[in-house]
Each structure stands twice: as C-alpha cells, then as structure tokens.
Amino acid sequence: MAKVGFIKLGNLGMSQVVDLILDEIAARQGIEVRSFGTGAKMGKDEAADTEQFKSFDADFYVMISPNSSAPGPTAAREIWKDKKVIVISDGPTKKDDRQALEDAGFGYIVMKVDPLIGAKTEFLDPVEMASFNSDAMKVLSTCGVVRLIQEAFDGVIAQADAGKDLELPHVLVSAQKAVESAGFNNPYAKAKALAALHMTDKVAEINFPACFMMKDIEQVTLTTATGHEMMRAAAQLAIDAREIEKGNDAVFRQPHMKDGSLRTKTKLYEKPQ
C-alpha cells in the first residue's frame, strides 16, 4: 500500500486537483491519499501547523504552494526536511535555486506556466478568484501539465511499491515540456495548446507588478483585469485545441486501472489498451 500525503500551503491553479489525479474515478487499489490544507494563507504559522500531518506517515509527501521561496513555504521545508517531499510551485525558476532544493534532499516540479492571480482587493472577489482558477485549470489540464505531474507521481509510487529508495523528480515545467506531455495528434491543436501555455506564463508577468508594486487604483485594476482577460483567452485556446482533437476522434486518454497501471486510448468507442 503506497501512501501519499499532500500539503497545500495557499493556492496554485494546480492545487485544485493535485491530490485527485492519481485516482480519477476513486477505484485504484493499493494507494492511500490524504491532504492537509491551510486555505488561502501560507505564512509561518500555517507552516508550523503542517507538522501534525507527519502522523500520516506517508511514503512521500507533496508540498504545493505559490512562491516556494516565501517565508511560509521555506519554514515548512525546514519542518519536513526529514521526510521525502516533492515541492510543487511556480518558482524558483533559476537553476542555482533549484539546485539548492535538490541538494537539500527535496524533489521539485517547478511550473513556470501556473499563473499568478490578480490578488488585489480593488479587483479580486470570490467570484473572480474562482473564475480565474477555473480558466487556469482548463489550460493546465488540457495542455499537458496535469499528465506530466501525474506521471511523475506514478513513477515515485512504483518505486515505493517495489520497496526501493525513492528517487524524487526534478522537473522545470516550461510551456514546451508541458505540451509534449499532452498527447496531441493534430499539429494545429498542439499549436493552440502551446500558445495557451505561453499566454498563461505571461499572465504572471503582467500581474506581478500589480500585486506587489503598483499603488494607483486605476493602474492596479487595469493591469489585473488585463492579466485575467489574458487567462480567459488562454483557456479558450485550450478548449479550441481539445475540440480539434474531438473533431478528429483523436483525444488521447490515459486512465488508471484498478492496479494503478496506465492504459491508453484515442477513439471514443474503444477500450483502453
């Protein structure tokens, strides 16, 4: 029985489904999953609260948060340094910083394509937050990020099942790397998906100054609205890419079987092989 624990500090787009992608129809055997979440906050107090989750005694843990170099996630890693942990975040993207994570014993999946929300009171309310995250999830799912992460997790679970010392992944998820995991058959669909991923990456670049630098209300609201409009357009491109594949009856699917193995299919009416 492989045990996987998920620690959610704050929220990324990928946080919504990261603990669901290993058992999408709740029928997989030989796996036990638990999650510990701190809601929207990710400070040092929330990091300290995660220590109680060690009682789950998982084979490995996944710690997902925005900005893994922030004080809260940094404090959490100090608490969890004695466990096997894969850090999922939108940073650090610099090679030396990622090497420091690896040298400290952590696995990582750094997603340049997980967007930064326009988190300013002048713009963001619960409905806008939910809408943005649903758009982000459309890109992350359709354009390859979900499958890339799921396959990385499955690889570690296979090691745990075999009783091996765990070798954790160290992956920088660029737009190009993500789209290669998506399984597109039609090149125009793939191009639309790649465009969506590049746009999603750009959203963070647009929203960052609005969140942390700008003060004028017109600048803040115009800039965050711009980032969210770009995210909506990226989501539509992701939808369009999948519609092309559906029109060709060529959507790539890779479901888990009860034993955790993966099978594939592309035709709607065929069984996974």
Sheet with 85-89, edge to edge strand ranges: 31-37, 2-8, 60-64, 85-89, 107-111, 170-173
Rounded to an integer, what distance in angstroms lies between the CA atom of residue 218 and that of residue 231? 20
Instruction: Give 10-residue mean pLDDT values along the chain (273 residues).
Output: 97 96 96 97 98 98 96 98 97 92 97 95 97 98 98 97 96 97 98 98 95 95 98 98 98 97 97 96
Closest CA to 253 of 157, 145, 142, 156: 142
Q: What pLDDT is stored for residue 247 in this prediction?
A: 98
Q: What pLDDT is stored for residue 37 in this prediction?
A: 97
Contact 234, 134 (CB under 8 A): no
Closest CA to 93 of 201, 223, 230, 167: 201
In order of their start, the domains of the chain are 1-111+144-181 (3.40.50.10830), 119-143+184-251 (no CATH)
**Strand partners for 62:** 6, 86
Q: What is the pTM of this model?
A: 0.95
Query: Which secondary-structure segment (H or E) carries 201?
Result: helix 187-212
Contact 180, 203 (CB under 8 A): no
Rounded to an integer, what distance in angstroms lies between the CA atom of residue 216 and that of residue 219? 5
